[in-house]
Amino acid sequence: MSKPIRVLHVLAAMDRAGTENLIMSLYRNIDRTKVQFDFAVSANNECAFDEEIKSMGGRIYHYPRYCGTNHFYYVAWWKAFFKKHKEHCIVHGHIGSTAAIYLSIAKQFGKFAIAHSHNTNSKLSLSSVLYRIYSYRTRFIADYFFGCSKQALLDRYGKRVAHNRKVSSVLNNAIDTSKFAFNNENRKHIRNELGVNENEVIIGTVGRLTRQKNPDMIINIIKKLVSNGIKFRFLWVGTGELENEIKNKIHNLGLEDRVIFAGVRDDVYKVLMGMDIFVFPSEWEGLGISCVEAQASGLPTLCSEAVPIDAKVSNYFHQLLNYNVEEWCKKILALISTIKQNDRSNAYQQVKKNGYDIMATANQLREFYLKIARKSSGTH
């Protein structure tokens, strides 16, 4: 192939979040002389990664956000798009709610369709039930299925797909492991920036401020640790629709001096080095790339039962099989006592050895795309 094949990734927006960070890491590390990424997003605003995408030769297209009442317009837009853009031989769908629609249309225009599950099933609610109804047909439409974990494949696409290795596989939520290798200078820099001295314990988390990440439990953990007289600061990295609500709760509880809201950062790898313990009490997760990054940084990583066991990629991983605040605090206290003995320097090697280095995953994806492209073109 004289020109790189073009793969269209379908997402909501290319902002800094778990799925988007993964795709950008893959994009940076994949051989772009062989495979080029383009992006279809529903966001109309400028997003965090847009300029970088364009600098690497990627194109960004804006499709209408699906709201049910615009169904026929939504269908017409995708038909017009694929009729005009014949250059994409593969459509890689990351938006599950409407994947049955846009992937079906893609196939009508001779595209190879991939459905990618980045999450396990959430707790039952009206929105989660509607999601399952809308996305159900995808398992009968897509040509191939990726999941960030075995459970993510099973929950989204069922046993028939998840157990069929010919059409489905786990694509690890890999990271640049060397980037997350612990560096004491980075630790000092972050702590100086935050106004935290070396002897203070920093407990932290990274993730969107949404119900999925269980912010109320995090607040209860902070409150309990404070009531027990534990000296620490909590570093909260991320933003989201619950940000104001969470900040108001922290304020009303008089905990503002204990919590640092760092917002969205483009140097999460450095921020993790500034922490001492990482907590991740999610209510549901496809994998939890943040806890993989935390382990690579050598952080004792305390996860909920909702985090798939696939995320255990080092001996820094600890999992509690309940949401009992008292038990979480006891575990945190036990981990605090090990901080000075914790050698973080080689943690990233464990993560790399367990298959979560971005180069290995980028190479795996490149070979998969090229194999599919050859099938699409009728050559072998």
pLDDT tens by residue, 92-109: 999 999 999 999 999 999
How confident is residue 379, by pLDDT bands cut at 50, 70 and 90? very low
3-state secondary structure 320-349: CCCCCHHHHHHHHHHHHCCHHHCCCCCHHH
From 20, 51, 24, 22, select the one nearest 37 (Cα to Cα).
24
pLDDT tens by residue, 54-80: 999 999 999 999 999 999 999 999 999
Q: What's at 314, amino acid-wise?
A: S
pLDDT tens by residue, 285-341: 988 899 999 999 999 999 999 999 999 999 999 999 899 999 999 999 999 998 887
Residue 380 pLDDT > 50: no
Residue 122 pLDDT > 90: no
> Do residues 133 and 157 lie in contact, with contact meaning Cβ atoms separated by under 8 Å?
no
CA–CA distance from 113 to each of 88, 125, 148, 331 (Å)? Answer: 11, 29, 17, 44
pLDDT tens by residue, 262-291: 999 989 999 999 999 999 999 999 888 999
Residue 378 pLDDT > 70: no
CA distance 62 to 50: 12
> Do residues 6 and 112 lie in contact, with contact meaning Cβ atoms separated by under 8 Å?
no
pLDDT tens by residue, 160-197: 999 999 999 999 999 999 999 999 999 999 999 999 98
Domains annotated for the chain, with CATH where assigned, are 5-174+357-377 (3.40.50.2000), 177-353 (3.40.50.2000)
List residues bridging with 234 in a β-sheet: 203, 259
Instruction: Give pTM, 2 decimals.
Output: 0.85
> Do residues 291 and 311 lie in contact, with contact meaning Cβ atoms separated by under 8 Å?
yes
What is the average per-residue pLDDT within 42-50?
A: 95
Query: Residue 340, Cα to own-chain centre: how many angstroms?
Result: 30
Residue 134 pLDDT > 70: yes
> Do residues 304 and 214 lie in contact, with contact meaning Cβ atoms separated by under 8 Å?
yes
Query: Residue 208, Cα to own-chain centre: how many angstroms?
Result: 10
CA–CA distance from 195 to each of 26, 191, 240, 278, 279 (Å)? Answer: 34, 6, 24, 19, 21
Backbone angles phi, psi at 233, to 5 degrees: -125, 145
What is the average per-residue pLDDT within 214-233?
A: 96
What is the average per-residue pLDDT within 208-216?
A: 95
For position 247, what pLDDT does the model report?
A: 97
